[in-house]
Amino acid sequence: MSVFYFLILSYFLTINIIAAFVTFRDKRKAIRGEWRTRETTLVLLAVLGGAPAMWCTMMGIRHKTTRKKFMVGLPVLSAFHASLGGIFYLFERNHLFF
C-alpha cells in the first residue's frame, strides 16, 4: 500500500469519526435543550467525507430523520465517496499514483 493511499484512508476514517461524534453530540444537546450544532456544519462535515458515518449515526439515534437534505443527501454523498474510494483503489492498484 502506498503512502498516498494510506493517507486517503486515514483521512476518511478520521473525518467519519468526527462526523459521528458531532452528530451524536448534537442529538444530546437537542435532548437537553442546549445550543445546537448548525446544520451547515453538519452538511460541511458530510461533504468533506463524513457522510457514511453521519448517516449511520443519524439512523441509529433517530436524529434529523425528517430532514430531506440529510435523508437524501447523505446516502448520495456516501455513494459518491464510496465511488471515489474505488477510483483511488483502482489507481493505486495500477500504480498510477506515486
Break the chain into its structural domains and give their ranges.
3-93
Distance CA 11, CA 17 (A): 10
Render 2-64 in DSSP notation, one character per residue.
-HHHHHHHHHHHHHHHHHHHHHHHHHHHHHHT-----HHHHHHHIIIIIHHHHHHHHHHHT-S
Provide the pLDDT for residue 6.
Answer: 86
Provide the pLDDT for residue 4.
Answer: 77
Provide the pLDDT for residue 69.
Answer: 87
The structure's pTM equals 0.85
How does pLDDT run across 62-82, given as a tens digit for each residue?
A: 888 888 889 999 999 999 999
Provide the pLDDT for residue 97.
Answer: 58
- Which parts of the chain sit beneath pLDDT 70? 1, 95-98
Provide the pLDDT for residue 88.
Answer: 79
